[in-house]
A and B are shown apart, each in its own frame.
Chain A
Amino acid sequence: MPFWFARGLRRGVVTTHYPARPDRSAALLPTPPAFRPRQLTRAAADRLVAVCPSGALSRPDDALIFDVGRCTACGRCAEAAPDAVTPSGEFELASTARSALVKKIPIYGETR
């Protein structure tokens, strides 16, 4: 065990300062999408619903419903409509209420 003790001293602290300071490796993580309502049309929204493999998107009426709890951040939506969807960069998604993970995205693209 003295060997491991000495090894640990030599190795030093390797943990990061997160959450007090951002962890730079977080920039490499895939993150859920962010939507631009003004670029979003109903046709584009329907295309997004079709490409989402985990059922995180739906369009029951004139808004896009995004369930972050079902999103795997696969990036297919951003690939399908790059003008209307970008990676959010947001990975701190925890919530105390399941309903807080479901977001209603207005569709303004067709009213312009």
Chain B
Amino acid sequence: MTPAHLPIPPSLPQGAATMDGVVYPLTSLGGLQIRGSGTTRGAVTVRVLAENLEAVTSTLAGTPGLRLADMFAADDSPVTTLRLVWAHDLGYLVTETETETETGFDLEGGGYPPLSSIVPAAFVEECEIYEQFGIRPATGQALDRVMLPPHAAHNLPRLGHRSPQPPGGANAPHTVDGQAFEFPFGPVRQVGVESLYYGLVTSGEEVVDLYLLTWHKHRGVEWRLRGKTPREAAFLVERAEGLSAVAVGWAFSAAVEAALGIEPPPAAARTRAVALELERLYNHAAAMAALCQATGLAVGQAAAEIALERLLRVNAAAFGHRYLFGVVEPGGVSRAPDADALRRELPGACDELRRAAGALLSTNSFVDRLEACGILTGEQARRLGLVGPVARATGLPVDARRAGPYDEVPVTIVTAAAGDVLARFNVMIGEAAESVRLIDAFLDAGTRAGCTRLPVKGDGPGGTGGGSPPCTEKAGGGTGLGWAESPRGEALAWVALDEDGRIARARLRPGSVRNWRGFDDACRSRNVFTDIPIIEASFWLTVAGMAR
């Protein structure tokens, strides 16, 4: 597969030669593979008629090895376009559907087929599209409020090119009766974790149902990105989900680079990979500490947090920022890692983490709480499109680290079979060791700061930094898809640039968006309500990434 950071010539879409088997059935349904102008660079693009959307989605949902990775709307043409991003080991496929066609099939007027009944993974995106664009599935099925507050005024900024009706009545109804009662939890919660409201329906101990209200942290990041240059936008992008700043920043930068047809220097790509693996290490340490906190094991929590603090200091020593902000930027990276500091400090910090993990695994009272808790099956993970350690703990080898610098240093994907919290914990421990190996290999191969110049009018070091004058070229526009494997799973970004190279529409899909979809299923699987914080810690998701 072509590396994530490499541009895809418009005439030769990424993976075209190997994705033919996936694309061919779509052409028999009237799908048209787009090449050249109009293609999403970084993926194979197929345009489908709106009236065939249901049939195409059914076909793709039944294709082995293919999963729905994202779905979003964009008003990048005179009419709104729905795009579905499908992930395959061979690459990505984008199906795009205009909402008004020559045949008069109008998705905005009549709605579109309820795709979540075919691919359950699409439900969150159906909710988002309704909130942002006012377009909903034709059946009028109940939707959840996932991004905009329910009290949002009619004029709250949204992405749609026309002002939608206030999305009232969007919350799916829930029923609490019989012996069950609702246990409201949040949005203000313990120890300063993010704002999140659980509606926890319980019969006393057992979790009967659980629903989430995730909109408390909505900041309208995608809306705020419009009109910015890619470099200006990068500042906001890495704050969309701060704990995945490198991964989301890399996905966004790769999308911009694909759209502009440029590539970062190889040493800069390796630098990104070093930062990404450091991000994974500190997140896995933080998840371990959160698991101890959730199980009430304060001594274990302290041990994990010592390792976490040491890893954050390694980040600061290597890249000048504890949370690795400002490292990745479109075109390359702004800083090189301090390789000496990394080689000196990282082994000790990782030993600390390994010893803490070993001590926890030898503590029966801790392991007992994790075993058979929050179970997800591989089939559930596949159906819901789950990613990251959550999916890998069910046995699915889903990992976006297959390209770019990871072509030079292949990743050993760590999986487990049980699908419970303990399996997730073990996957994280295995991945931490693998990250250390990868960092060593990338440092050996050579890392450096550096950026390929972006052909974006008004951007460049002189536009947002110092040094050389800003670029005066015109980019010519284009769209691109980028991805990276964040600590919580595949992060995706899709970017449309206008003729000046400014952002017309940017779609960010952090891993959290996918995996919150599986959280309620994990909670309902024969758990008591005191298991919920343990399951949440093992998912290690962010609300910011969901509500962005």
Contact = CB atoms under 8 A, between A and B. Distances in A.
Interface of A: 1, 3-5, 7-8, 11, 14, 25, 28-30, 51, 53-54, 72, 74-76, 79-82
B109 interface: no
B466 A82 contact: yes
Given A4-B359, A7-B299, 13 more contacts: A3-B359, A3-B363, A4-B299, A4-B300, A4-B363, A14-B306, A25-B313, A28-B320, A30-B320, A51-B463, A51-B465, A74-B235, A82-B466
Interface string B303-323: 100100000010011001110
A81 B306 contact: no
B111 to A, nearest CB: 39
B362 interface: yes
B464 interface: yes
Interface of B: 232, 235-236, 299-300, 302-303, 306, 313, 316-317, 320-322, 325-326, 359, 362-363, 463-467
17 contacts: A3-B362, A3-B363, A4-B359, A7-B303, A11-B306, A28-B317, A28-B320, A29-B316, A29-B322, A51-B463, A53-B235, A72-B325, A74-B235, A74-B326, A76-B464, A79-B467, A82-B466
Contacts of A82: 466
> What is the interface of chain B mostly: helix, strand, loop, or mixed?
helix
A28 B465 contact: no
Contacts of A76: 464-465
A108 to B, nearest CB: 21
B157 to A, nearest CB: 17
A35 to B, nearest CB: 15
A76 B300 CA distance: 40
A75 B326 contact: yes
Q: Which of B300, B362, B465, B466 has the most CB of A within 10 A?
A: B466
Contacts of B302: 8
Contacts of B362: 3
A51 B359 contact: no
A14 B302 CA distance: 10
Contacts of A51: 463-465
Given A53-B235, A74-B325, A28 B303 contact: no
Contacts of B326: 74-75
A15 B460 CA distance: 43
A90 to B, nearest CB: 16
A47 B472 CA distance: 17
A79 B466 contact: yes
Nearest to A24: B313
Closest 8 CB pairs of A and B: A28-B316, A53-B235, A4-B299, A80-B466, A79-B465, A79-B466, A25-B313, A14-B306
A13 to B, nearest CB: 11
